[in-house]
Amino acid sequence: MSKANAPAPGKSRTRNDPRKEATRIAIMEAAETLFAQSGIEGVSLRQIGAAIGSSNTSVVAYHFGSKEALVEAIFHYRLPAIDARRRELLQEALGAGNGNDPLTLLRAIWLPLFEQVNETGQHSYAGFMSMLMYSTVGDIRLAVSSDYPTTNELGERLQAAMPDALKPLFDTRMLMNTVMVTGALKMIDQAPAAVDGAPLFADTLRMAAAALLAPR
């Protein structure tokens, strides 16, 4: 190696490896689907590796180290596009003068989950989120929230739109909103292929808005 091509002192040469990145993506997508089906604790790292067709029983541990790190990686894989889509929907709402309307804000929060499907047409991220609420690693979602400003802004706008007496209930009611919406998406996934899920999703949003604002 010539001196001109040698790495600078104290630095090692790095390069992007497309095969490694493709393997990481395959692992995250397989894990998301399996977690949605069987829960976070119900799936082993070996099962995830087998799902991508790897004979290396340690392939997931090699790329991610632990299940907790894999769960966090799934968030960072999905949330940039979801947050960007939420930004588009929020801008549309602001342009229409609906930036403080709870139903419009809930639509901006949840429509990206309705739009996301995996290669088999299932709402795998919504299913993953549903199971995460009942797992021991659910706090990971809160740990990454600061990286996704539009999602946070939508939550702040939604809480501000609630009557003052209901504001202390915001976190609990949004948790129940998550249960309602992800449950509806699971129903859509289980319906015959010919069934249009859009009307059920739209009705779920109306129910979610009513539940959020229900008097104490």
Asked if 132 and 138 count as a contact pair (C-beta separation under 8 A), the reply is yes
In whole angstroms, how large is the CA radius of gyration of the chain?
20
Q: Residue type for 9, please?
A: P
What is the residue-wise DSSP string for 187-202? HHHHS-TTS--HHHHH
Global pTM value: 0.88
For residue range 93-120, list pLDDT tens digits in order: 999 999 999 999 999 999 999 999 999 9
| Tokens read off for 152 | 């946070």
For residue range 139-189, list pLDDT tens digits in order: 998 889 889 999 999 999 999 999 999 999 999 999 999 999 999 999 999
Which of 93, 43, 98, 91 is closest to 70 using CA atoms?
43
pLDDT score at 3: 43
For residue range 16-71, list pLDDT tens digits in order: 678 899 999 999 999 999 999 999 999 999 999 999 999 999 999 999 999 999 99
CA distance 149 to 131: 24
CA distance 47 to 54: 10
